[in-house]
């Protein structure tokens, strides 16, 4: 083939020859075929629920199509550079192939943008966050179905406990999601070439995960308090079980300090110990001790729900009870007021150790 000829190129591609034109067209078709193939495979993967596989297919498919597009553009550019434009036919050929080149370049820009998004999506799928979100959603639905079942059978305590159990699991799962989102943000911040748009999107995900975590925490606190109100006595003890049973079945016994407490007290103690009566003073003392114990139990639940280790929380709650007795005498406060003070600090976000140190200081003020 001659190096220089009218309407031809010096690169070995003669745009006047059928074979050369067919070669260019084959490159163009190869891009379309590659794109069609990955799109079909992606659709199959999605329909099978294989989200990670689908993201991988899209990312790798686009990469392959881009390589073919770049080859097509490179060959077309070389051919275009050597077209002899001195003739009318040569100029027409130049304009024809130049338009193809411009279109191909625009398509390549679009494909590269798609590739960047596909890469981010694939990397995000690999974090497992989507699977965690699905697991969380499934648990929420399961919890609600259990609550609905208990409510239909008028089992309020069962519904309340199902909510606590379900929310505890959801809170744990949302914690995993939040940590995974933070880890992904750190990875993106450390990676080269991460766009500001991608970073903003991930920061938004972190904020949304944190907000959801707080929402689950608040719901769990409310659910725990609801159970505590319905079962105010220590269910681990024999006497507590008896008191709770009567308390829950006596409609008017909504306040253990109310006059109706006598009926609750008598039935519970008789069922637990088989005795006919207990002195009024002893009963009132047992009542106050039970309420105080329940108050500290609630404080313990608040601490654990807030993220504190159960062992540390229990140790410090025990110290609160010991210290509460001393503070009550020292500052002329009832032990219930002391217990209320600790609980209020915990609700404000204090750890058990911080509450132990802060309350004496506040009482001195």
Q: Does 13 have pLDDT greater than 80?
A: no
pLDDT in tens, 201-219: 999 999 999 999 999 999 9
Whole-angstrom Cα distance, residue 303 to residue 310?
Answer: 8
Task: Please compute the mean of the pLDDT values over residues 282-310 and round it to a whole number.
Answer: 76
Helical segments of 231-279, H only: 238-249, 261-273
The domain spans of the chain are: 18-126, 130-227, 233-364
Q: Does 25 have pLDDT greater than 70?
A: yes
Count of CA atoms in the C-beta half-sphere (13 A) of 92: 4
pLDDT recorded at residue 15: 53
pLDDT recorded at residue 36: 92
pLDDT recorded at residue 252: 40
pLDDT recorded at residue 66: 92
> In 229-253, which positions are buried (b, 16+ CB within 10 angstroms) versus exposed (e)?
ebbbbbeeeebbbbbbbbbeeeeeb
| CA distance from start to end of the chain | 101
pTM score, two decimals?
Answer: 0.50
Q: Does 274 have pLDDT greater than 50?
A: no
CB-count burial class (<10 Å; 0-12, 13-18, 19+) for 107: middle
pLDDT recorded at residue 333: 85
Q: Does 186 have pLDDT greater than 90?
A: yes
Whole-angstrom Cα distance, residue 337 to residue 324?
Answer: 9
pLDDT recorded at residue 365: 58
pLDDT in tens, 240-251: 444 445 444 443
pLDDT recorded at residue 251: 39
pLDDT in tens, 74-111: 888 888 877 778 888 888 888 988 999 999 999 999 99
Contact 98, 81 (CB under 8 A): no
């Amino acid at each position: 083939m001659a190096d220089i000829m009218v309407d031809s190129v010096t690169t070995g591609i003669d745009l006047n020859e059928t074979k050369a034109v067919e070669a260019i067209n084959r490159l163009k078709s190869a891009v379309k075929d590659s794109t069609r193939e990955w799109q079909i495979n992606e659709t199959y993967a999605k329909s099978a629920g294989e989200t990670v596989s689908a993201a991988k297919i899209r990312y790798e498919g686009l990469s392959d199509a881009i390589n073919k597009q770049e080859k097509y553009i490179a060959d077309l550019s070389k051919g275009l550079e050597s077209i002899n434009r001195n003739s009318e036919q040569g100029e027409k050929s130049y304009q024809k192939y130049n338009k193809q080149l411009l279109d191909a370049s625009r398509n390549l820009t679009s494909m590269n943008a798609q590739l960047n998004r596909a890469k981010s999506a694939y990397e995000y799928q690999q974090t497992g966050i989507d699977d965690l979100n699905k697991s969380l959603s499934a648990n929420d639905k399961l919890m609600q179905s259990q609550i609905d079942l208990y409510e239909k059978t008028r089992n309020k305590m069962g519904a309340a406990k199902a909510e606590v159990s379900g929310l505890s699991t959801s809170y744990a799962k949302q914690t995993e999601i939040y940590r995974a989102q933070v880890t992904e943000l750190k990875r993106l911040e450390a990676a080269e070439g991460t766009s500001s748009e991608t970073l903003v999107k991930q920061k938004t995900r972190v904020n949304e995960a944190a907000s959801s975590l707080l929402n689950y925490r608040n719901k769990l606190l409310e659910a725990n308090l609801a159970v505590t109100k319905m079962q105010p006595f220590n269910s681990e003890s024999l006497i507590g079980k008896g008191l709770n049973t009567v308390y829950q079945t006596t409609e008017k016994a909504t306040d253990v300090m109310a006059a109706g407490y006598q009926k609750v007290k008598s039935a519970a103690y008789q069922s637990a110990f088989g005795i006919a009566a207990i002195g009024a003073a002893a009963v009132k003392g047992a009542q106050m001790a039970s309420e105080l114990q329940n108050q500290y139990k609630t404080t313990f639940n608040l601490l654990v729900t807030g993220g504190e280790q159960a062992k540390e929380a229990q140790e410090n709650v025990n110290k609160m009870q010991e210290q509460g007795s001393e503070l009550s005498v020292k500052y002329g406060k009832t032990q219930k007021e002391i217990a209320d003070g600790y609980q209020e600090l915990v609700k404000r976000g204090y750890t058990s150790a911080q509450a132990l140190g802060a309350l004496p200081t506040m009482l001195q003020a």
